[in-house]
Chains A and B, each alone.
Chain A
């Protein structure tokens, strides 16, 4: 009896528990597909909701029949009667064939409409085209018309669709910013197109969604949406900083440089310089995260330079030991890098 009562109480608490779960289940605003911040994700959430409602309708009908059947038709002890052997019912079977077809039509029409809408990047291309190249395990964002390349952080203007050309240098990756839009694969040897739109300024989280190796889970990036004026200024600053960096690379060493800058130009720029072989460090100091996921501080940066494999298994970045960069130089280098800001 006690068991039964507890059972009943649990049963009553269940919906409340579920509600609590659901409320906590909407995720965080930078990452959840349930809290869209751009037109793409909005279209998608709309159709997710529509399909969910259609399905909940079906679920409700099935649940009613199911519960009724299980309550009503239990065999009592000693009841040996043989029930009527019903072959079937054409009417009933017709009903549960036709109604689902109608429901699916309701779903199919907006599906086709949204598929076409999401694939149409014409308008976006007029605004801005950005090349997104995925690498093991980092993201390159290249603004071909502006001469700007960034790593790990994609900066876009607010309120405008921008077009992305996606590809990969090694294995398949997939570009996913849940709050702005669903994913599109980065295929090596092929190019994909999508558009991205943010309704308000802010920082949104991006993920690699296709298994790409041991550090797949750590291949995070960010999308930063800036107001148009800020965006234009950012582009200009980036361009200037990049040009300065090209000079740095050519010169390798200048008397007036700090120790950190010298170490940087001699050890880092050959790969990081163009932002193509390794992530661009032009605005490294502004970054939210180190290596896509670590806290952006000096300790982590030094550990990273010493032994990147330990922090990101399979990364292409080589480690630098004490004979290559001494402890003091490393500290100088870290200070220099963390200070490389344009904002």
Chain B
């Protein structure tokens, strides 16, 4: 391919660089900051929900606005905060962990990000266009198909667009992990986070299409007069529930598995001990992923599918507790005999174990179908899934942020403030959600915008709201830390935690755009640690220094996503503004198609970074190390 060698392109600067980048490290940053932004939006919505429920018959918001708040809170947190941040970490860490120079499809990677971003934007635009979606994040038909639920159009199209992006990300990581590993990086030597990213990506590929279909049906029903969910014309409302949960349950594992992976990186690092039962952990991950597809009906125990279906799915659900339990014990025994230190990343990881355990316990309790008739759609369920998703996923997101921030930015988040942030969040979390178990058992349904006094719920709701305020303050502290770190000039050294075990910590700070000057040679699980134990300061390499091929930046992913965004908006506007909407929709689709056409028509062979540049970088780095 040397015939295609071209000169290095001029570096784009500032905002254009971010809009056109195909570098997985930068895309990771884009994902994480967009995710954090949406985390804040979803957090403000959560605080408004809790403020409304602080006392009985409060009138801070109306029932309609409340329903919009809960819908957007759930949708935003799952699709626009948690999942993008996790994909952000995958971008930031996975290629580095497997010794690759980039992901398999850098262009597709950028496209995946921009689709998510514009999908999220379209969804949130609903706040400014009359009404946000109001049928819950589950959007059960026919509540979601009544014409005056205008916001649901934004839900269906926004999620559709961002879902395409997620699907691309999933395929990209599967191929990256299978094909781009450095020599010696056998499957069973891959870091645990890479493994969980792999399984989660596979779940994305198989779970998102049912959602795609569901959203199409919903869109067709709302915009083009179809009758899938209209009993009067022979439709069946249960179809949506099935499609949604066939996607929805694996989605939980798409979120939690990478979080498990993050903890499985952090705990060995700060215990200075290899992950206990690595092989079992890998198979447990796969088993959880597989079983995740077999249990969706446990979200539908009260729908009336009959005792046989309920019993089968109850038992299948219980089975998931086994591999999950194995994981908990393996983490505990990784800690056992270790030399534990507790930076904030480790605090979150250690706090995760009991918090998630409670979520898992209530999960088993919920799997008991006859008991679920009581828990279902009550605050008990709200408590359960927040224990899993906050106590599991969000703790993982924060842990990962503290752990990998130095890798991404070359600087550390303030540890002292971080400890305050952690404790406020930890206490706030339990204070918010523990009382909700009791609320559910004492009869409080979920998604109620208010409640009458004298039902025994006032105290627990008050506590819950106070807890939410703790988490709010904690998040403000996190923002302060982020600003402090990003504006600081104190760069960290290579292998910032001192006990890095995996390849990403062998890289210089900041990571060069080509990642590895020479592709490393992997000698075992935790290869960096093995080399350190053998007295080396860095890992062996598998090739001499040479020219490095790089992909060109491109604005096309951005343009394609803008096009789809406009198309989605146009279709929604068509209902109220007729032709204007239609014109926007057609223009949008045309933009996307043109960009796609350009992409396939123009050959883009990328460029090479010449050997001399790499050698200079290596020399400078060696000098820095020597100091």
Q: Do chains A and B touch in the complex (CB under 8 A)?
A: yes
Residues of A that sit less than 8 Å from B by CB: 21-22, 24-28, 31-34, 41, 43-45, 47-48, 51-52, 54-55, 58-59, 62-63, 65-66, 69-70, 73-75, 79, 81-89, 92-93, 96-97, 100-101, 104, 107-108, 111-112, 114-119, 170-172, 174, 176, 178-179, 181-185, 187-190, 192-193, 205, 207-218, 220, 293, 313-314
Contact A213 B337 (CB under 8 A): no
- B307 interface residue, CB < 8 Å from A? yes
Q: Are A174 and B377 in contact (CB under 8 A)?
A: yes
Across the interface, do B443 and A178 meet the contact criterion of CB distance under 8 Å?
yes
Say which residue of A93, A116, A185 sits within 8 Å of B302 (CB atoms).
A185
Q: Is the CB of B442 within 8 A of A33?
A: yes
Greatest chain A CB density within 10 A among B279, B302, B459 is at: B302
Which residues of B are found within 8 Å of A69, using beta-carbon distances? 332, 335-336
Would A112 and B315 count as touching, CB distance under 8 A? Answer: yes
Within 8 Å by CB of B67, from A22, A188, A211, lies A211
Size bracket, chain B contacts: 35 or more
Nearest first, the 7 closest Cβ-Cβ pairs linking A and B are A182-B373, A189-B231, A27-B442, A214-B63, A217-B448, A88-B277, A192-B304
Asked whether any CB of chain A lies closer than 8 Å to the CB of B600, the reply is no
Q: Name the B residues within 8 Å of A89 (CB-CB).
A: 276-277, 333
The residue in chain B whose Cβ has the minimal distance to the Cβ of A177 is: B443
Residue of A nearest to B372 (CB): A182
Residue B64, interface by CB 8 Å: yes
Contact status B333-A217, CB under 8 Å: no
**Beta-carbon contact of B272 and A83 below 8 Å:** yes
Beta-carbon contact of A314 and B280 below 8 Å: no
Contacts of B447 in A (CB 8 A): 211, 216-217
> Chain A contact residues: over half helix, strand or loop, or mixed?
mixed
Does residue B62 face the partner (Cβ distance < 8 Å to A)? Answer: yes
Contact of B364 among A55, A74, A187, A192 (CB under 8 A): A55
Which of the segments B1-9, B235-243, B591-599 contacts the partner chain? B235-243
* 4 extra interface residue pairs, beta carbon distance < 8 Å, beyond A62-B357, A171-B140, A214-B449: A27-B438, A31-B443, A116-B307, A178-B374
Q: In the complex, A34 Cα to B447 Cα: how many Å?
A: 21
Instruction: Tell whether, in the assembled complex, residue B235 and residue A86 are in contact, meaning their CB atoms are under 8 Å apart.
Output: no
Which of chain B's residues 177-208 have a Cβ closer than 8 Å to chain A? Answer: none
Q: List 11 A-B contacts (CB under 8 A).
A: A73-B335, A75-B340, A86-B337, A87-B277, A93-B329, A97-B322, A176-B377, A182-B376, A208-B445, A213-B63, A216-B449
Contact partners of B459 in chain A: CB under 8 A: 21, 24
In the assembled complex, which residues on chain A have CB atoms less than 8 Å from the CB atom of B575?
none
Which A residue sits closest to B315, measured CB to CB? Answer: A108
Question: In the complex, which residue of chain B has the Cβ closest to the Cβ of A173?
Answer: B143
- Is B441 a contact partner of A27 (Cβ separation < 8 A)? yes
- Cβ distance B596 to chain A, nearest Cβ, rounded Å: 39
Whether the Cβ atoms of A119 and B306 lie closer than 8 Å is yes
B368 with A28: CB separation less than 8 A = no
Pick the contact of B238: A79, A176, A190 (CB < 8 A).
A190
Q: Does B135 contact A (CB under 8 A)?
A: yes
Q: What is the bound-complex CA distance between A81 and B261, given in angstroms?
A: 26
Partner of B318, one of A33, A107, A115, A214: A107
| Residue B273 at the chain A interface, CB threshold 8 Å | yes
- Tell me, yes or no, whether B512 is within 8 Å of chain A by CB: no
CB contacts (< 8 Å) of A83 on chain B: these are: 271-273, 337-339
B365 x A51 contact (CB < 8 A) = yes
Query: 8 Å CB contacts to A: which residues of B361-384?
Result: 361-362, 364-365, 367-378
Give CA–CA (A190, B280) in the complex, Å: 45
User: Separation in Å of the B193 CB from the closest CB of chain A?
Assistant: 18
Contact in complex: A211, B143 (CB < 8 Å): yes
Asked whether A108 and B456 contact (CB < 8 A) given A73-B339, A83-B337, A86-B273, the answer is no
Decide if B602 is an interface residue (CB 8 Å cutoff).
no
Chain A hits for B451, CB < 8 A: 217
Specify which of A31, A43, A189 lies most central, judged by the most chain B CB atoms within 10 Å of its CB.
A189
Contact A217 B441 (CB under 8 A): no
Residue B326 lies at the interface, judged by CB distance under 8 Å to chain A: yes
Chain B residue at smallest Cβ distance from A85: B274
Contact of B456 with A28 in the complex, beta carbons under 8 Å: yes
Q: Which chain B residues numbered 133 to 166 have a C-beta less than 8 Å away from chain A?
A: 134-136, 140, 142-143, 146
- Expressed in whole angstroms, the Cα–Cα distance for A81 and B533 within the complex equals 12
Would you call A33 and B441 a contact (CB within 8 A)?
yes
* Chain B residues closer than 8 Å to A171, beta-carbon distance: 140, 142-143, 146
Q: Cα distance A48–B373 when bound, in Å?
A: 11
State which of B66, B326, B367 has its C-beta within 8 Å of the C-beta of A93: B326
Cβ–Cβ < 8 Å partners of B29 in chain A = none
Contact of B378 among A81, A188, A193, A209 (CB under 8 A): A209
Nearest chain A residue, comparing its CB with the CB of B530: A85
What is the bound-complex CA distance between A22 and B435, given in angstroms? 10
Chain B neighbourhood of A75, CB < 8 A: 272, 339-341
Q: Is B328 an interface residue (CB 8 A)?
A: yes
Contact B364 A209 (CB under 8 A): no
- Residues of A with C-beta under 8 A to B237: 172, 187-190
Q: Distance in Å from the Cβ of A217 to the closest Cβ of chain B?
A: 4
CB distance from A178 to the nearest CB of B (A): 4
Is A96 within 8 A of B329, CB to CB?
yes
Which residue of B442, B449, B533 contacts A32 across the interface (Cβ within 8 Å)? B442
A81 to B446 CA separation, bound complex (whole angstroms)? 52
Q: Determine the distance from Cα of A101 to Cα of B326 in the docked complex, in whole angstroms.
A: 11
Cα distance A245–B117 in the bound complex, in angstroms: 60
Please tell me if B487 contacts chain A, counting CB pairs below 8 Å: no
Q: Which residue of A lies closest to B339 (CB)?
A: A75
Residues of B within 8 A of A293 (CB): 452
Assess whether A44 is in contact with B364, with CB atoms less than 8 Å apart. no
Rounded to whole angstroms, the CA-CA distance of A313 and B68 in the bound complex is 14
Q: With A24-B459, A75-B340, A83-B272 in contact, is A112–B311 under 8 Å at CB?
A: yes
Closest A-chain residue to B438, C-beta based? A25
Is the CB of B460 closer than 8 A to any CB of chain A?
yes
Kindly supply a per-residue 1/0 record for chain B positions 316-357, scoring 1 wherever the CB is within 8 Å of any chain A CB and 0 otherwise: 001101100110111011011111111000000010011001
Contact status of A115 and B310, CB under 8 A, knowing A66-B332, A182-B302: yes
Instruction: Name B314's contact: one of A88, A100, A115 (CB within 8 Å).
Output: A115
Residues in B neighbouring A74, C-beta threshold 8 A: 339-342
Question: B303 on the interface (CB 8 Å rule)?
Answer: yes
Contacts of A114 in B (CB 8 A): 368-370
Pairwise interchain contact A314-B364, C-beta atoms closer than 8 A: no
Query: Which residues of A lie under 8 Å from residue B354 when comparing CB positions?
Result: 62-63, 66
Known: A70-B335, A73-B337. Contact between A44 and B140, CB under 8 A?
no
With most chain B CB atoms within 10 A of its CB, the pick from A75, A181, A192 is A75
A51 near B364 with CB under 8 A, answer yes
Residues of the A chain whose Cβ atoms lie less than 8 Å from the Cβ of B338: 73, 83
Q: How far is the CB of A160 from chain B (nearest CB, A)?
A: 20
Q: A27-B456, A74-B340 are in contact. Are A187 and B304 (CB under 8 A)?
A: yes
Nearest-neighbour CB distance to chain B for A116, whole angstroms, equals: 5
Contacts of A25 in B (CB 8 A): 435, 438, 441-442, 460
CB distance from A176 to the nearest CB of B (A): 7
In this assembly, does B127 line the interface, its C-beta being within 8 Å of a C-beta of chain A?
no
Q: Tell me the nearest residue of chain B to A55, going by C-beta.
A: B361
How long is the Cα–Cα vector from A188 to B342 in the complex, in angstroms? 54
Q: Please indicate the chain B residues that have their CB under 8 angstroms from the CB of A51 in the complex.
A: 364-365, 368, 371
Contact, CB under 8 Å: B442 / A93: no
Residues in A whose Cβ lies below 8 Å from that of B441: 25, 27, 32-34, 48
CB distance from A169 to the nearest CB of B (A): 10
A211 touches B456 (CB 8 A): no
Residue in B232, B370, B442 whose CB lies within 8 Å of A47: B370
Contact B303 A185 (CB under 8 A): yes
CB-CB under 8 A for A31 and B370, given A73-B336, A83-B272, A86-B274: no
C-alpha spacing A11/B63, complex, angstroms: 40
Question: Nearest chain-A residue to B62 (Cβ)?
Answer: A313
A-contacting residues, B452-466, CB 8 Å:
452, 454-457, 459-460
In the complex, whether B278 has a CB less than 8 A from a CB of chain A is yes
Decide yes or no whether B20 CB sits under 8 A from chain A: no
Docked complex Cα distance between A101 and B134 (Å): 41
